[in-house]
Structure 1
């Protein structure tokens, strides 16, 4: 005799089975999205990505701009779904490699544009373009020259959207102050410079927030203590170099001179070069070079009304990757799985 519960289980077995399958698929997709967030720092780890989203959420809520978090999630989700729809490599999708440019585009659009329905159309369009741009760069630049695309799709698409925004009356950009603030040099302390170093890390996600930088470091430490220490070391070195060369104090304190050097330190020091004493010195030098490239690009792009985004990192990465065969044997990209 079948009891009432057993009978119910038999009757609804197809439903329960389908529900369980949907639940598994949802969990897998959620982990893919979180890995995509983590891949901004070359860390395809779901928990790391969760800390990164928490960092974005903290800054967005503290600034009273919750749509920044929503934009990040939408950009991340849309770019990942687009890659799935295009039937791109399943492993690349699962590791979040088609999500990190999308999340950065999402943050950029919600940071620079005034919220409106058409702003979201721009954001979704940019996020959909990300995996296509990634494929284009992979098939040309990476295949021919061995230079990874990294955040290049994010930079190119964000520039395109911002320039389009200047010429479209249906969307509106925030008015950004052109005035450079000059903090009192006598009041710049070591603590302020250390906080600036932490902001360097947060500014990779366009966040001017110290707590967000700490959350990102915690996420990286979960994935790898070595990656976290390399990131922190690159951030401190970038602040030190920018300060020694007399860069604008306000830009230093808000992390605008350090986010690209942070990525250079991590890329050369942990991802694309084999472990060796040479790698350490190359990572240090790449960090220094990126600060100088950042200063040059600031001069070039400010009259255009465009942020440099991670262009300084990309230029430095290209130089060091093109030189890699002569400096070290090629290495595989660091394992980004959990």
Structure 2
């Protein structure tokens, strides 16, 4: 008699959190949650509520089970939950928005997945932009109001780690280090590319004379970190695409922040779409980049 080993029920949820930085790894997701809870219990709870909502929504709508198990319906939802409790105080209306926003982000994610389109975190961006607009006239400052006052003294090390932390709206050095370790245990090369991208993002934004505190907080680095992780690989040509996408994302980041826009991870998504388009055109034109 063949005995089938049941997988822990928590795996899709942890992988859903890990997929925020494109890692299909439950330990990565667990460490991300640990970093979030370290900085803010409220945001940690919101992350848990959101990833459960997103994953259960996918199950109820009977989306592909393999995609659910891989956490593909959890990461945008998780980001919605953390973002809303970052921008707003956790009043009952915000918790309702966390649940509804997570479900909407999951549905949007499915529209990309079923068409084979690389949506990345765009479902999170769209859902959060809509909710930020709706809440604009009843703004209740949340964690965003106090992040700057908790930032440590500037140095290159913390500038690099803050780029990781800000991907999930976390401002402490400890959270940034935890997030780096979380990516490293899943993909060392992606983590190291991410560090380089974080520092490059800081350098480029410094050339545009952006505020030193904003640079140190990682506001010009976290989108670059995501781009680096996306295109990281063992071949030299991977480094070329990482560099292209990182520089592009930082330029978009600078432009959007100068217009006082809610940037979120849009520079990352836009830079990745353009980079994928460039890769496609290069392939069609027969342009080969040496390995």
- What TM-score, normalized to structure 1? 0.76
Could you list the per-position Cα deviations for residues 83-141 of structure 1 after superposition, in whole angstroms to 9, with x for gaps in the alignment? 010100100000101000111001011111122222111110001112211122345xx
Question: Does the alignment pair 1:266 with 2:233?
Answer: no
Task: Tell me which residue corresponds to 1:318.
Answer: 273
> Cα offset for 1:224?
1.9
Task: Tell me which residue corresponds to 2:287.
Answer: none
Q: Which runs of 5+ in 1 are unaligned?
A: 1-20, 61-65, 330-338
Matched pairs, number: 277
Relative to 1, partners in 2 of residues 1:157 and 1:99: Cα closer, same or farther, differing over 3 Å?
same
> Cα offset for 1:57?
1.0
Task: Tell me which residue corresponds to 1:42.
Answer: 22
| Residue among 42, 48, 73 paired with 1:98 | 73
Query: Aligned runs of 1:1-338 on 2, under 5 Å?
Result: 28-60=8-40, 66-139=41-114, 143=116, 147-167=117-137, 172-174=139-141, 192-270=155-233, 276-300=235-259, 302=260, 306-328=261-283
> Cα offset for 1:328?
4.8
Choose 1 or 2 for highest CA Rg. 1
Paired residues of 1:166 and 1:173 also in contact (CA < 8 A): no
Q: Which runs of 5+ in 2 are unaligned?
A: 285-291
Tell me how far apart the structure 1 counterparts of residues 272 and 201 of structure 2 sit (CA, whole Å).
16
- Report the RMSD for the aligned CA atoms in angstroms: 2.4
Tell me how far apart the structure 2 counterparts of residues 137 and 296 of structure 1 sit (CA, whole Å).
27
> Cα offset for 1:248?
2.0
Runs (4+) off by over 3 Å: none
> Cα offset for 1:39?
0.5
- What TM-score, normalized to structure 2? 0.88
Tell me how far apart the structure 2 counterparts of residues 239 and 254 of structure 1 sit (CA, whole Å).
9
